Amino acid sequence: MSDKVLSVIIPSYNEEENISRACSVIGDILNEAGIRHRLVFVDDGSKDGTWAAIEEMSKTDPNVTGLHFSRNFGKESAIYAGLAYSVDAACAVVIDCDLQHPPVKIVEMYRLWEEGYEVIEGVKSSRGKESVVNKLGAGVFYGLMSHSMKMDMKRASDFKLLDHKAVLALVNMREKNAFFRALSSWIGFKTTRVEFDVQERAAGESKWSLFKLAKYAVNNLTSFSTAPMKAIIFLGIIALIVSLVMGIIALVQKFTGTASAGFTTVIILQVFSLSVIMISLGILGHYIAKIYDEVKGRPKFIISKTCGEHKADKDEA
């Protein structure tokens, strides 16, 4: 293990405009603080000039290393690729390439790590500019995650520093559909928090559409929690209550002689029951698909190219 070398993991997808800026800003802050480091850019199958920008930076900055995926595997896979590459570092921090996570907070995290903390969580004191729909969706998602994990996830982020032991614990997990933000809290270790305000993007636009965010939330919720499957029980109870109420109404009307033909009631009950059944089958099907993905045992990612060297962790002359 490289003594006190910090590995900065930077997932990058179509971030051509931000590579040079991220490298310069993060590097300057860590150099000024006297923290030995390496910057590990993970290109998640970008379609623009992201990889070319990473290669160019690795030629001029000995602290820059680049990993290039054979295709787009997603941010979670990019994070885990960076963690796997950083197992020889004393500690590792994950930060967004767009600098919405303030790099200056890395120094504070590193100092806390030197004090003996093994997981330093970056928690959002504000979420920055978001639409009402995104805020509502995030609230529901993290509310469910907090309930299933029995810990507060409402202000959680991917911005966190992990000790070598914590990195090994995550890398050695075999599950393919791993939710880093939750698992890095679930593993335990001596933990503390650092608050930060989400910054404006340094350049470019967010790669997260509403559809992608919804898909990301569903995948991670079902990967880490069985709450949706348990919700089937409540759907069944609701359907039973509605059926009982409608049944009682029908019997009362029958015995009082006020019963109508009942065609509308029958159709409503059938549509409601079928809806509950189809939703339940959909939830079960999604979990079965997750099991199928895990059983196949395919890797989380495939690295097609690398650049840069581990010059940062060499002993100083």
For the chain, percent of residues with pLDDT exceeding 70:
65
Is a pLDDT exceeding 50 seen at residue 314?
A: no
Mean per-residue pLDDT, 123-134:
62
* Residue 100 pLDDT exceeds 80: yes
Confidence at residue 212, expressed as pLDDT on a 0 to 100 scale? 59
Please tell me the predicted confidence (pLDDT) of residue 315: 40
Note the pLDDT of residue 77: 86
pLDDT in tens, 202-253: 555 555 555 555 666 666 666 666 666 666 777 777 777 776 776 676 667 6
Angle of helix 164-171 relative to helix 75-85, nearest 10 degrees?
Answer: 120
- For residue 312, the model assigns a pLDDT of 43
Question: Vertex 45, ends 40 and 48: CA angle to 5°?
Answer: 95
Q: Round to whole Å and give the CA distance between 177 and 167.
A: 17
- Indicate the pLDDT class of residue 56, thresholds 50, 70 and 90: confident
**What is the average pLDDT value for the chain, to the nearest integer?**
75
Look at the block and give the residue holding tokens 């989400």.
Answer: 198
Question: 10 Å Cβ neighbour count for 152?
Answer: 13
Whole-Å CA distances, 266 to 176, 253, 257, 261, 283: 45, 14, 18, 10, 26
pLDDT band at 159 (very low <50, low <70, confident <90, very high): confident
Contacts (Cβ under 8 Å, ≥6 apart) of 150: none
**Which pLDDT score, from 0 to 100, does residue 303 have?**
86
**Once rounded to an integer, what is the mean pLDDT over residues 129-156?**
60
5-40 burial: b if 16+ Cβ within 10 Å, else e: bbbbbbbbbbbbbbbbebbebbbebbeeeebbbbbb
Element (H, E) at 261: none
pLDDT score of 26 more than 80:
yes
Q: Is the pLDDT of residue 13 over 70?
A: yes
Write the DSSP string, 17-41: TTHHHHHHHHHHHHHHTT--EEEEE
Beta bridge partners of 305: 68
CA-CA-CA-CA torsion sign (27, 29, 32, 36): negative
**26 with 95: CB under 8 angstroms?**
yes
Pick the residue with more confidence: 233 or 267? 233
With cut-offs at 50, 70 and 90, classify the pLDDT of residue 311: very low
- Confidence (pLDDT) at 31: 87
Which pLDDT score, from 0 to 100, does residue 230 have?
66
Average pLDDT over residues 295-304: 78
pLDDT at residue 135, rounded to an integer: 60
